[in-house]
Amino acid sequence: MQVMSLPEALFVLLETPSRPLHLGALVLFEPPPDAGDDHARRMYEDLLTHDEVADPLRRRPVRTLRGAGYPLWSRPEDVDLGFHVRHTAVPGSGSMSDLLALVSRLHGSPLDPLRPMWEVYVIEGLDDGRTAMYAKIHLSLADGPAGLRLLHRSMSTDPEARDCPAPWSPEVVAPRARLSALPTSWLRAGLRAGTEVFAMTPEIGRLVTDGVRRHRVALPWQTPPTIFNVAVGRGRTFAARSWPIERLHAVATAAGTTIDAVVLTMCAGGLRAYLSERYALPESPLTAMLPVPMNLGGAAVGPGGREPGVGAMVIGLATVEPDPAVRLARIADSLVHADRVVTALSGTQFLMLSALSLSPLALEPVRRFVDEIPPPFNVLISYLPGPSRIRYWNGARMTGIYPVPAVLNGQALSITLTGYDGRLDLGVVGDRHAVPALDGLVGLLEGALSELESAVGTRPR
């Protein structure tokens, strides 16, 4: 057995049957020209032939001392692919709405901790003839970027290739760097971290003070409570939509800003409209946690030029501003300041700043009894980089990939976007009871983008 790292252990310890902590992706494939009506079944059977599972995906969690001890990793000798890979069909007429309803139900079911915690569903019956695949994996095994990379790496850029591996195959799964178990390594790391904390104090103090004074930085205790920040159950609703990235590029160019600012402003406008319709818009601006850089082609939030996803930043969404152009300018200014903060820090320092920003999450159980404790942020918004070239799996062309993010307790709404084939594919997951009419929220995002286009002059008023 192997001792889990602290982040891995936290995802295992914090999960409950009613609050599963996994994320997923919905992939749509156009069958190759020579495929028959049984393309989904053949894809399922092809996947089952890849019976060699990479070592990181063979692990399952073990709780010692009857569940009271620190979790460990166990590696079963055999992995039952018949359990992990499944073949199902879209209910009803096979519409996209029927598919999203199916994925909503599948996403709400927790993974079995007695087995390696990942599953893949091949889905047939779509009315447009496409084949769908829904895959989910526990956060202790992979984060969002790593999970999508498994899917992308299993595919080919050659439409004639018929030897594509499965997402769990050893040639797809990159080897993981193992942390040293030597106490001397821990001591050196602790001393180094302590030195960097001391070194970061003057610089980060100056930048944060300037950010707060100019309303560029959102501190954890400044976040207003909303209908999104409540205890979540097991029920999930999933919604998805795509936009041409050219539309966002045009707005960014006209406004002299970056696409990441446009994306956040579009989300802010949709959230503002959604809450206003329910007379629930706070007087203070909403905040968003960005767990990965929003590098859609401009300045990135996060450690510039480094591996994405090493930390998090809380950004104000300027939802109190009714003018979409002014809202965009404020969000863009906040992102520029956030990038200054991040680039001034080392990787370790940025990680520690992230921990400080997210520290109020530890008080979430207390918020059930003490209303005065604010949430650390109102919504999660992530961008996961996608492939620049069209992908195929054994001749089937990938026509869309929609992230299916996790929601945390006290954070009933999560928005994730990825780029592919000139489009921005969006996936939104909400708690079924806390966030009703989730498809309506996605429609409001389109309205927010149209407002931005009119405000900056990229479409007729």
How confident is the model at residue 314, as a pLDDT?
85
Residues 6+ positions from 265 with CB-CB distance below 8 Å = 318, 324, 327, 328, 331, 332, 448, 452
Residue located via tokens 């001591």:
187
- Between CA 346 and CA 353, with CA 351 as vertex, the angle to 5 degrees is 95
- Cα distance between residue 289 and residue 360, in whole Å: 12
Helix 324-343 crosses helix 245-255 at what angle (to 10 degrees)? 90
Q: Please give the full DSSP string across 345-386, using - where no structure is assigned.
A: S-HHHHHHHHHHHHGGGGGHHHHTT-TTS--S-SEEEEEE--
Question: Looking at residue 194, what is its pLDDT?
Answer: 46
Predicted pLDDT at 410: 87
Residue 2 confidence (pLDDT): 85
Give the whole-angstrom CA distance, residue 50 versus residue 38. 19
Domains and CATH numbers, the chain: 2-173 (3.30.559.10), 199-388+403-456 (3.30.559.30)
Residues of the chain short of pLDDT 50, as ranges, are 177-200, 211, 294-309, 363, 366-367, 369-370, 461
| Separation CA 383–CA 363 (nearest Å) | 27
User: Using one digit for the tens of pLDDT, what is the confidence trace for 194-215?
Assistant: 444 444 455 555 555 554 555 5
**Residue 299's pLDDT is what?**
35
Measured from the Cβ of residue 218, the count of other Cβ atoms closer than 10 Å reads 27
CB contact at 8 A, 184 and 173: no
CA atoms of 262 and 51, how far apart (whole Å)? 44
DSSP 8-state symbol, 65: G
* Per-residue confidence (pLDDT) for residue 32, from 0 to 100: 96
Computed over every residue of the chain, the mean pLDDT equals: 83
pLDDT for res 342: 67
Q: What is the pLDDT of residues 117-153, one digit of tens each?
A: 999 999 999 999 999 999 999 999 988 888 999 999 9
Q: What pLDDT does residue 300 have?
A: 35
